[in-house]
Structure 1
Amino acid sequence: MDKIISFYFGRVLILGRTNVGKSTLLNQLVEKKIAITSHKINTTYFNITGIYNYNNYQIEYIDTPGFINKNNITHNLFINKNFDIILFVLDRNKWNDIEEKIIKIINNFSIPIIIIINKIDKISNKTILLPHINFIKNKISFIDLIMISAKNKLYISNIHKIIFKILPNKYHFFPKNYITNQTKELIISEIIRKYILKYIHNEIPYIIKIKVEPFIISSKTFTNNINILLYVKKISQKKILIGKNARILKFIISKSKNDIEIFLNKQISIKIKIKLK
């Protein structure tokens, strides 16, 4: 008689303040670079899904912007209770009104919460966190607490192990080779935006619109051509984006090309045009 295999599947919402390391954590959890990371605030504009498969377990991780308002998808997920577990990510012992607002929302739901204290690599004496952990216990009820460094891949596997124990007994929702809800064009646009954020140090990265024209990945060995349009509002913004002797634009193209080739596992050629809109 064939052995009956049980399948486990659940949706895990990653919450936390802007720049707490949620996107880096998502990339490490799904073992694929699908969300851009930056030291600048509001890097993630929308919810990003990453899928992790291990034997008969499947986890859908949802990275969220560092804010929750009535106009974004995260708010709708709460309204519809469309997730099974919450990862509440904290930056070491930082706590202010942002965390207070988040717990005010999640305390209204009887959903398992796992506290993730990130960036512990920046703390030499971990005992200073003990009073903070007691403080958290008085603020919110949680099933477990893990201290990690998402950037350095420390203790990431422990998160999976805890989640495996509480995943609902369900059939897998996604095909086994499914990784993210983002198209290849969207991921490439995010890679471009990452380097614009890095090399342009003002408000311009937040108002640029990026469009990657649809393309087909060739199965042959020749280079794939990718056309990218950057839309700006003013000529002055276009000049800043290009830089003196096109220096900034060349940096953006060079750095992005390397990341995109790693992502696609293909040689590519990038053409970027900047237009007014």
Structure 2
Amino acid sequence: MKKISSYYGSILIIGRSNVGKSTLLNTLIGKKVSIISHKINTTNYNIIGVYNKNSYQIEYIDTPGNIFYNNKSLDLFKKNKYNYIFFILDQNKWNYIEEKFVKILNKINIPIILIINKVDKINKKDILLPYISFLKQKIKFVYLFIISAKYKLYTDNINNIICKKLPKKKHYYPSNYITNQSKKFILKEIIRESIIKYVHQELPYSIKIQINYQKKLIKLPDTISIFLFIKNIRQKKIIIGKNAVIIKLIKYRSEKKIKFFFKKKININLWIKVK
């Protein structure tokens, strides 16, 4: 019997805060594993998402937007284990933030792929050619993709091309592996994202979310109690909302997202406690 070759590669996703890294990660692997918000610095740690298709496996690593704002950023590249780096740009935005990224990227020996995101927001597409010429002077890159991660425009091309460039290598993860985040973590992120959607303040970032089911459970229970610990009564009133409208919206949206991700209908009970 002929042995089937396997292909594997690891890709680091970098870019300024709110550029669309998390949206792109979710789009590329077809699952929501990274929280999305219009507020900056929503992702505060590396999140891994794994794309599996037949004999191909791609490990995508979503990084915080502020990763290059300190002197430790070079630690990411010391092992040089990445096959490519995705440097994501927000339309034609460019200022000191991108300059900081470029200063580091020009020092490393890893192929750079530029991705111009949010092309749906560009009314005059003729600005792209001068912008691309500008980018060629700033940084050396091997590929350029112009996409809208939010609306999944031209994103299929990314996985297709990367798969063709992967080296022959044994897969690092099982074929059913999706993310390095635990079920509890994903549940918390879904709840927090729902809170962010309906509570337009800094409040969602100060809430401590606690889930009561055991960590070692393989299957999620049909009903889960989730506790939201907040600082004071004023915050409690904000989350509940007038006639409990806000908390009902948070519950409804969370259950919908949980069902989509885990392919199972789960009822959640939200409890708010002042701590």
TM-score, length basis structure 2: 0.91
1:240 alignment partner in structure 2: 238
Name whichever of 225-234 and 17-26 sits farther off.
225-234
2:198 pairs with 1:199: yes
CA contact (8 A) 1:261 1:268 kept: yes
How far, CA to CA, are the matches of 2:232 and 2:226 in structure 1? 18
2:162 pairs with 1:163: yes
2:76 alignment partner in structure 1: 77
CA contact (8 A) 2:9 2:167 kept: yes
2:228 alignment partner in structure 1: 230
Q: Deviations over 1:201-241 (max 9, x none)?
A: 2111121122223354769xxx7011112122333222222
Residues 1:260 and 1:217: Cα distance change in structure 2 (over 3 Å): farther
SS at 2:260 equivalent: helix
SS at 1:256 equivalent: helix
SS at 1:131 equivalent: helix
Q: How does 1:92-111 map to 2 (within 5 A)?
A: 92-111=91-110
2:272 alignment partner in structure 1: 274
CA contact (8 A) 2:50 2:58 kept: yes
Residues 1:241 and 1:73: Cα distance change in structure 2 (over 3 Å): farther
Q: Deviations over 1:59-105 (max 9, x none)?
A: 00011111115889976433433422101111110111111111112
Counterpart of 1:271 in structure 2: which amino acid? N
How far, CA to CA, are the matches of 2:68 and 2:89 in structure 1? 19
What runs of 5+ residues in structure 2 fail to find an aligned partner? none
Q: Deviations over 1:134-161 (max 9, x none)?
A: 1111111000101011111111121123
1:43 alignment partner in structure 2: 42
CA contact (8 A) 1:218 1:224 kept: no
How far, CA to CA, are the matches of 2:70 and 2:121 in structure 1? 35
CA contact (8 A) 1:47 1:73 kept: no
CA deviation after TM superposition for structure 1 residue 169, in Å: 2.6
What runs of 5+ residues in structure 1 fail to find an aligned partner? none
SS at 1:65 equivalent: coil
